[in-house]
């Protein structure tokens, strides 16, 4: 499958890239600064792209079977995620890409009492801007009936770990373990992302993964 991956050199993006290549997909990795990615790999074409430039991104993703967005805004500029999402949706339509799969956030997932995680007592103030931005971006996907989208929200804690391929799947509710903790590794998040690429189950929906 031909995959256009936006944010291929980010913390999560580079793990998604590794998983996609491991599975034998042909990847166009779209990065902000190509000079940071000097290593050449089979089935990988790295190009520079600006997600805020609709025409630029439309040309960059053209000819692919699916777009995966692992775009993450800079600290202090979390709100730009919403604008990036709007531009990306427009670019996907312009380029005629059949499907888009994007990385979401845990903050808009529901917990006991049907309250969003971001609205719960004790939710870190420093995490609220990105949590709210991801929630707003998700709303833009939900409102658009003219694209085939899927949004994957991680568990509350997303960090480097092991690729096990063993995790639980949900839709709108935060997944927690027997200790009440919610976490997933970058590696298993990427695994779940590529599973959805290869065997779609959540077209037009958001889903989440956790241990």
Radius of gyration of the chain (CA): 16
Contact 35/69 with Cβ under 8 angstroms? no
> Does 64 score more than 80 pLDDT?
yes
CATH of domain 2-210: 3.40.50.720
Tell me the H-state helices in the chain.
Answer: 13-22, 54-61, 80-95, 128-143, 186-198
For the segment 77-122, what is each residue's pLDDT rounded down to a tens digit?
999 999 999 999 999 999 999 999 999 999 999 999 999 999 999 9
From the number of C-beta atoms within 10 Å of its C-beta (0-12, 13-18, 19+), residue 24 rates as exposed
Q: CA 203 to CA 181: how far, in whole Å?
A: 28
The whole-number pLDDT of residue 12 equals: 96
For the segment 25-35, what is each residue's pLDDT rounded down to a tens digit?
999 999 988 87
Question: What SS3 class is residue 65?
Answer: coil
The whole-number pLDDT of residue 32 equals: 86
Q: Where are the domains of the chain?
A: 2-210
Tell me what percent of the residues of the chain surpass a pLDDT of 90.
93
From the number of C-beta atoms within 10 Å of its C-beta (0-12, 13-18, 19+), residue 57 rates as buried
Tell me what percent of the residues of the chain surpass a pLDDT of 70.
98
CB contact set of 39 (below 8 Å; sequence gap of 6+): none
Task: Tell if the pTM clears 0.75, that is, is over it.
Answer: yes
Best CA proximity match to 109, nearest among 96, 123, 99: 123
The whole-number pLDDT of residue 38 equals: 58
CA quadruple 120, 72, 51, 102: dihedral positive or negative? negative
């Amino acid at each position: 499958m031909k995959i256009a991956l936006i944010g291929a050199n980010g913390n999560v993006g580079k793990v998604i890239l590794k998983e996609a290549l491991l599975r034998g997909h042909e990847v166009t990795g779209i990065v902000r600064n190509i000079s940071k990615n000097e290593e050449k790999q089979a089935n990988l074409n790295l190009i520079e792209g600006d997600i805020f430039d609709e025409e630029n991104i439309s040309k960059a993703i053209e000819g692919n079977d699916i777009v995966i967005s692992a775009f993450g805004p800079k600290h202090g500029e979390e709100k730009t995620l919403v604008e990036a999402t709007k531009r990306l949706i427009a670019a996907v339509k312009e380029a005629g890409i059949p499907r888009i799969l994007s990385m979401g956030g845990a903050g808009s997932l529901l917990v006991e009492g049907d309250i969003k995680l971001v609205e719960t007592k004790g939710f870190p103030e420093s995490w609220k801007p990105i949590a709210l931005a991801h929630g707003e971006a998700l709303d833009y996907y939900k409102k658009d009936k003219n694209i085939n989208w899927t949004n994957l929200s991680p568990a509350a804690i997303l960090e480097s770990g092991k690729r096990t391929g063993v995790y639980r799947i949900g839709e709108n509710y935060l997944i927690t373990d027997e200790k009440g903790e919610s976490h997933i590794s970058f590696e298993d998040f990427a695994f779940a992302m590529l599973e959805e690429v290869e065997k779609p189950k959540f077209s037009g929906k958001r889903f989440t993964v956790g241990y």
